[in-house]
Amino acid sequence: MVAEIRASTVLPARREDIELHTADGLTLVGELALPEDRPPVATLVCLHPLPTHGGMMDSHVLRKASYRLPALADLAVLRFNTRGTTSDRGTSEGAFGDGVDERFDVAAALEYAEFHDLPHPWLVGWSFGTELALRWGRDPLVQGAILLSPPLRRASDSDLDAWAEFGRPLVALVPEHDDYLQPEEARKRFARVPQAEVVGVDGAKHLWVGEPYVRIVLDEIVKRVNPAAGPLPTQI
């Protein structure tokens, strides 16, 4: 029987509640989703939107990545709540650090990936998470970063220059109707990163509401991280 993949579809995976431990002594809660019966070919380390405005590891695009991509694209998907953030999984210790103290959270996630032999980690940041990726994600372990709705507020031109020097791929998916940074301005801002690619998404808004936009995001992620698996099916 063929069924359409919908917003609520959860495909088979090995799912495990995990804890991350930061260098400044906090425990963060998260989840790791792995392909059900084979090793992953690459790993997504997800950095969620602003927790003071409702962002968390269950923010819908990241949750749908964990529901679909282990099965459809052989990817490991690691999601976690940054310090002080709550979701159904629980609350991570600590308090919101305005994108500064969260550098320890990013480091803890990458340390977990390395210790557990999760292959080829890519950062997937959304909004506030893009700023964490740009500021604190320049780790030798990181293969590249995919930025969803980057506001480029906390992340400065100096962070972009540092990423240019870092040399790893950088892909920015920018909604046509974003509240903070739209495609034309994004292309100007990211021009200082030679390896950056800005993908404008017609009709989309900052929160990527609507299944067509979620599919675009997930397809663009897979195109970079495991191109052999794309384009993703819309039915199972």
Which residues does 165 contact at the CB level (< 8 Å), separation at least 6?
none
Q: How many residues does the chain have?
A: 236
Where b means 16+ CB within 10 Å and e means fewer, 22-52 reads: beeebebbbbbbbbeeeebbbbbbbbbbbbe
> Cβ(174)–Cβ(182) under 8 Å?
yes
**In the structure encoding, which two tokens stand for residue 119, read together?**
């292959």
**Helix, strand or coil for residue 125?**
strand
Counting as low any pLDDT under 70, the low residues of the chain are none
> Cβ(183)–Cβ(174) under 8 Å?
yes
Instruction: Report domain extents, the chain.
Output: 14-229
Q: Exposed, middle or buried, 222 (CB in 10 Å: 0-12/13-18/19+)?
A: buried
Instruction: Report pLDDT for 61.
Output: 98
Q: Classify domain 14-229 at the CATH topology level.
A: Rossmann fold (3.40.50)
CA distance 236 to 6: 10
**In the structure encoding, which two tokens stand for residue 45, read together?**
């380390």
Instruction: Report pLDDT for 1.
Output: 77
Give residue-wise pLDDT tens across range 148-168: 999 999 999 999 999 999 999
Strands (DSSP E) contained in the chain are 14-21, 27-34, 42-47, 75-80, 86-87, 90-91, 121-126, 144-148, 170-175, 196-201
Instruction: Report pLDDT for 220.
Output: 98
Name the amino acid, one letter, at 115. Answer: F
Instruction: Report pLDDT for 2.
Output: 86
